[in-house]
Each structure stands twice: as C-alpha cells, then as structure tokens.
Amino acid sequence: MTITTAVIDLDLPGATISRHIYGHFAEHLGRCIYGGFWVGEDSPLPNVRGIRSDVVDALKAIRIPNLRWPGGCFADDYHWRDGIGPRERRPRMVNSHWGDVVEDNSFGTHEFMDLCELLGADPYVSGNVGSGSVAEMSDWVEYLTRADDSPMAALRRANGRDQPWRVPFWGLGNEAWGCGGNLRAEQFASLARQYATYARNHGGNSLYRIAAGANADDLHWTETLMRSFNDLTSDPAGHAGPFQAVSLHYYTMSGSWSDKGDATGFSTDQWYITMARARHMEELLTRHSTVMDRYDPHRKVGLVVDEWGTWWNVEKGTNPGFLYQQNTLRDALVASVHFDAFHRHADRVVMANIAQTVNVLQAMILTDPDTNALVLTPTYHVFQMNAGHQDAAALAVHLRDADTRTVEGDELSLVSASASVNGDTALVSLSNLDAEIDRSVVLDLRGRDVVGHSARILTATALDAHNTPERPDAVAPAAHAGVRAHARGLEVDLPAHSYVTVSLDLR
C-alpha cells in the first residue's frame, strides 16, 4: 500500500471558508424547477404552497447556504414582471436556450423567495443584462427590498407580500461573453458599471453585486473587469467600486463540447482525464486570483464560481435541451476535488454554486418523473460529509510522497486533501483519485492535541456506481474503521476511488 504524508498545523488557522462556497444553482432548465422544486399546490406530492417538501428537507439537511436563480442563460431572457401576480394571468414565453419549450411563468419571484425562506437559504438573484434594461433591473431590486410606499413596494403588496425580503446577492448578467449577449469584455465592463449603479441598496438591504465574469481561462475578461473596478473611488454609501465580486464558470468533462463523454459506462482512461480536468480548477483559481491581485492586493473583491460541475452527454431518450445526466461516484470525487481547491483559496473565493441542484447536470437530487421517487446522488453525500467546513478556518495541508499519474501531458496528483478548524473540532477531507490502487495517508498533526476522532467513507466497487429508486444507497457514506494511531498523529486507509472525511476532537 502506497503511503502519503499530510502535514497539518492545527494551531495555524487561515482564511475563513465561507459557507457560501457550498451554494447551489437552480435554472429554468429541464426538470430543475418544474418537476424538481415546483410541483404546484394541487399536486398529490407533499408540498408547501406548491414547493416539494422532500426536496426542501433533503437540502436543509446539507445546510444549503444560498440558491442562485433564475439562470444561467435563462436569466438574460427573463423579465421579472412576467412572473408576478395571479399565475393564471402571467404571460407565457419561449425558453429558447433549454429545449425550446413554452414557459408559463408559474414559478416566479414570490415562489422563489418562498422557496429560499423554506430552505433557510440566502437568495442570489441573477438580473437580466442581455435583453433587459437598467430600469427593469432597478425596479426589480426595489420590488424585492424596499419597505415604504414606493411604486414597486406598493406593487409587491398588491401581489400579497407586505414586508420586503432580504436579498444579499445580486448578479449583473450571466455569461455576457456568450448567451448573455455575446459581448466583448470592454462592452460588458461598461454595462456592469451602469447596471450596478442602479441596482441600489434600499433601507437596510445591502446588495453584494456580482459582475458576470470569465469563461474558464479567459484572463483578459477578468482583467478588464478589474481595471474597470479599479478606476472608481468609493460610492457615496461607502461601497468600494460598482460591484463587489466577479464570477467564473468552469465545467468538467472527459470529452469535448460536441461529445462530452457519458455519465456511466466510461473507461478508466476517461476517469483519469476527468480527474485531471477537475483539478484544473486549482490552476484557474490561482491565475484569476493573480490577475485580481494586481488591481486588488488586499483582496476586497470576491471571486464567485457560480457555475461549476460535470457536464456529460444527456441520458439516452431524454430531451437534449434538458441536460439530465446520471450522477456517479466519479461525480462525487470531482466535487471533493473542487471543494479542496475552494478551501485553499478561501481568501479570494467567497461563493460557489454547483450546477445544478435538481435533475440537471451535477445534481444533488434526482426525481423520477414516473414514480416521483427522490434519489440523493453521490455528489449530495460529499456536500453532507463536508458540512463541517462551512464557516471554519482553513488549515494548510502539505502533502509529501503523493503519487502522480501522467494524464494529457500533465502530472495528476492522486491524493487530494484539505482541512479546517472550528473551535475544538477539525475536519480533514481526503480523496484517493486512483481508480485501482489503495493507499494510506499519515496525518502528521501538529500544534494541538488530538483527543478523539471519527471517520466516514464514500466509495463503491464500480467507478460508475450510482443511486437509483431501486438502489437508493448504492453509493452512500458509511463509518470508516480504517483509521489508527500513528507516531505522528493518525494513519488513514484510502481505498481506491474513495472519499474520506476525518473529524478530530482537539484540546
């Protein structure tokens, strides 16, 4: 068995890992909203005002911190006034990006805010820059957050909501380089400044404005936004610059955009390609952060990875525009690798949103359209096992003697790890990305006494093992007995293709 050492100084806490790194994304796409979150008040399924109860309960169990809506590409086609008022009077529209289906707008602003309140999650609203107007976005902010008798506050009350909502996160467009307008970076930087100016703070509600950022390794886009940000002084309310963060999108696949690879039935080589591409997130965070540091050395501007995850070919027989894909053990380890990277960059990465929450791409939850059964995916369990990292202080993990494998010309480290501390508890996350070889990791624990420990493991026999209504626990966490005392701390067994978390009681 191969042995790797992980040196962790338990008494040297770093930046706080924001709970918002564990955020989610729900777009009007396929069965994410309709058939996922929203079943309607007349549904035989248990629901609260049309919102499916078991979905809410499952997400509350993983402490969902925020939810991004209504898109995605849909956001820049969405006009919020179409989604308020009596549902039977709401106009219909064509969802041209996702399946070319007709959207009836029965799930709109009030339904989304109700969902967030049921989840206990902060709303992250993506405003329409691509086909909307400055006035439209400004009115939406006022409608949501203003308390007095302003025109939009009065309209909200007429639609049944007296008190304003708290809306902390506001997106200025989405993928402006693509479906959000096919704009050049310089064009969008000017628009972002303009739209941000009119996305005002009302009363006690303070918006954290997030400008639509780069696609993967487009450093020019990030630099253009940061340059735009840097040449402005603080606004009269004391908020530095027009927006407080920029976003980044990156998806992991084993093939190309035309043939992304299948979610199941993949080869061992495709497993390793996927892991190497997932670990590319580390390089992206480093490079974009370096660009941002040039203009913001004190790291006051946040980096928000508000779309990330795996993207496979859709399941056979499903609408290609609905992006429904199976979720396997491979997806779970892609998630664990991403979280390790986010933890290491906690001083810059303030939020991340996996795409997407229900029935779309790398979902937490799959709902069967025929039986209505709810399935928790392997990715869901990584979120659950990692919950202790939320709002904890990151700990540096120094790996020694970690094996590597050459994949697409680069060296892939086969062990991924991160750690955090919160008071007298620490959590260590460990991933063995090797498809075939078991290994052991020695946790060289320094600086504080460890007086107790427990561990959980997520793995399966097959690389593409996944959960179904018939076998809902084919991939599920279990207690891990493979942890024992070592002269330096603890030794942890990591079976091939496994994910392990070790909780430490400290003194």
Positive/negative CA dihedral, 79, 97, 183, 298: positive
Q: How many Å separate Cα 126 from the centre of its chain?
A: 14
Number of residues that make up the chain: 507
Compute the distance between CA of residue 328 and CA of residue 264 in angstroms, rounded to an integer: 7
DSSP-derived secondary structure letter, 401: S
Q: Can you give 93-160 as a three-state secondary structure string?
A: EEECCCCCEEECCCCCHHHHHHHHHHHCCEEEEEECCCCCCHHHHHHHHHHHHCCCCCHHHHHHHHCC
* Catalytic residue from among 175, 223, 282, 470: 175
At residue 314, what is the residue type? Answer: V
Compute the distance between CA of residue 237 and CA of residue 207 in angstroms, rounded to an integer: 12
C-alpha R_g of the chain: 23
* Catalytic residue from among 307, 408, 411, 491: 307
Give catalytic status of residue 470 as yes or no. Answer: no
Give catalytic status of residue 307 as yes or no. Answer: yes
Compute the distance between CA of residue 242 and CA of residue 209 in angstroms, rounded to an integer: 8
**In the numeric block, which tokens belong to residue 277?**
């591409």
**In the numeric block, which tokens belong to residue 79?**
């006009």
Helix, strand, or coil (residue 296): coil
Compute the distance between CA of residue 435 and CA of residue 154 in angstroms, rounded to an integer: 59
138 CB-near residues (< 8 Å, 6+ apart): 198, 199, 200
Alpha-carbon distance values, 425 to 297, 341, 366 (Å): 32, 21, 33
The residues assigned a catalytic role are 175, 307
